[in-house]
Structure 1
Amino acid sequence: MNLETLHHKFEFTPTEKIILAFLNDHQSSLSNLTIREAAQQCYTSPSTIIKLAKKMNLSGYSELIYKIKENSLADGIEENQHTTDSFRVAPITESQQKAFNTILENYRQKPIMLIASGFSQILVEYINEALLLNGIRSIKNTHLELLHPERKDDVLLIIVSESGETTRVKELAAMARKNDFTLISFTGNPLSTVHKSSTLAITTNTFKGFQEDRYEPKYFYGSVLILFETLLSNYLKSVPL
């Protein structure tokens, strides 16, 4: 389990880091470790551990230790395999393209706010330049005043997030949904909060969660560029000159 990567996505408190580090270091004994025993070892309370699990979009302590153990087993299997994985980007469906065309046409003369964090901000930089070069107004900074309910028909949101669960991005997606904004998302996780909050959700299905290896190829970023370029190109071809 890559704690550094998970921390970037969920922004753990110092106590939460201690809990995860302890559980990760004692994977072999997790099956017999009760939540009260884990709490005692980490000098915290069972409720804090449950809150941590919920924060990570898990049902509770049992699923948390299951995920940690599952990752340990997966690591052992991967170390003994010598295979070359092939990867293909899933094509844009006709319904996705149609929805993208409709949304972009409705907001072509209105600002498009691009939202991301971490490495996904690099993708937002590219998307921003591509839109501007084609005469479509976009901004790559988050302006909360644009998310007021009365602005819901004036601003289009595009969110890029591999996990779809990064704390700040997830909060903005939930706010957009609550205020009935139109939201297009590119995520690697079809089960994520961002994906579920979107008007049009595009996923690469590349998010591995607990099993993420920092040295594995990061297919998400290249996939998003391909998918976005496909969507934008097809839209521009459909628009009269």
Structure 2
Amino acid sequence: MDFFEVVNPHVSELTKNEHLLFDYVVKNLNEIKNKSIREVADDCFVSTTTFLRFVRKIGFSGYSEFTTVIKYTILNQKKEEKVSPFVVSQKDYREEYLKNINESVRVIDKNSLITVGAYLKKKPIIYLFAKGMNKQLMQYAKYLFVAAGFLVVFPEDQSMRAVVQKQIKSDDLVFILTYQGKDEEWIRLMQRLKNTAHPLLVSITGADNNVVQNMSDINFYMFTDELFLNKMEITSHVSMLAILELILYQYLDNAEEGEYHLVFK
């Protein structure tokens, strides 16, 4: 049992104060796993009754199950990445590859696309957040949106992200790319933004239910096959790129006549 899988369905139901408790828990999983409920409650400046009520609200029967699942989650995260069971022919893989892209585009919610496109008409500052191989996708996304006349901020390392997030305002637009959707840094980032400026939070994640997906104002999800080569992930994220392009095309489709010189060849 994974901690984030348990809490996912309940995150959207939390009050502002409970979100603060959740934020503390996510940031301090390693410390909490060995503490008593009284110690954790003291650290959060709440009563043990309040903290126990919170633990039950996020899906646990009690504090014992809460810490047990945290220990299991941390232990599981430290295990060596599993080898991908990718043993299909190139022909079969090409077919699955195209199916994943087609399905990712097919299931896009049109209303969500229209909402983001309309928000872009306000010319917000666009903030991009991504790690690992998604950073290359975000570089391309930055190129696209800058070409369309937007001011785009893409902090690529953690120290810059810590500085930049303090500059985000309520009328800005934030894009987060994360396939797994349970990265602790992104959860903390979204928690902070929801409790302060609360810009429009748009995420692109995997199709599985996840924390980032549930914390987003708008989520687009993609389908893909997870692949690893020599213990390095080479999972295709091309569907994320397709979604980003469609968001921009939606905006351009509703732009004022003469605003852009757009040529189709």
TM bucket, shorter chain = 0.5 to 0.7
Matches within 5 A, 1:45-194: 50-53=69-72, 78=85, 82=88, 84-85=92-93, 86-87=96-97, 88=99, 89=101, 90-91=104-105, 92-106=108-122, 108=123, 110-141=124-155, 142=161, 143-147=164-168, 151-153=169-171, 155-179=172-196, 180-194=198-212
Q: Unpaired runs of 5+ in structure 1? A: 1-9, 17-45, 57-63
One-letter amino acid of the counterpart of residue 104, structure 1: L
TM-score, normalised relative to structure 2: 0.56
One-letter amino acid of the counterpart of residue 146, structure 2: L
Which one has more relative contact order, counting CA pairs under 8 Å at least 6 apart? 2
Within 2, Cα distance between the matches of 1:158 and 1:47?
31
The answer as to 2:222 corresponding to 1:214 is: no
Within 1, Cα distance between the matches of 2:88 and 2:135?
33
1:199 CA drift (Å) = 1.3
1:219 CA drift (Å) = 2.1
Within 1, Cα distance between the matches of 2:191 and 2:240?
22
Within 2, Cα distance between the matches of 1:138 and 1:227?
18
Change (3 A) 1:169 1:47: closer
One-letter amino acid of the counterpart of residue 184, structure 1: V
One-letter amino acid of the counterpart of residue 218, structure 2: L
| 1:176–1:182 Cα contact (<8 Å) kept | no
Partner of residue 205 from structure 1, selected from 215, 220, 223: 223
Change (3 A) 1:48 1:213: farther
Identical aligned residues as a percent:
17
Partner of residue 239 from structure 1, selected from 224, 230, 255: 255
The match for 1:230 is 246
One-letter amino acid of the counterpart of residue 162, structure 1: Y
One-letter amino acid of the counterpart of residue 113, structure 1: Y
SS in 2 for 1:152: coil
Matches within 5 A, 1:6-45: none
Q: Unpaired runs of 5+ in structure 2? A: 1-26, 34-64, 156-160, 260-265
One-letter amino acid of the counterpart of residue 70, structure 2: K
Within 2, Cα distance between the matches of 1:238 and 1:194?
29
Within 2, Cα distance between the matches of 1:120 and 1:113?
14
| 2:227–2:235 Cα contact (<8 Å) kept | no
Q: Give the length in aligned residue pairs.
A: 175
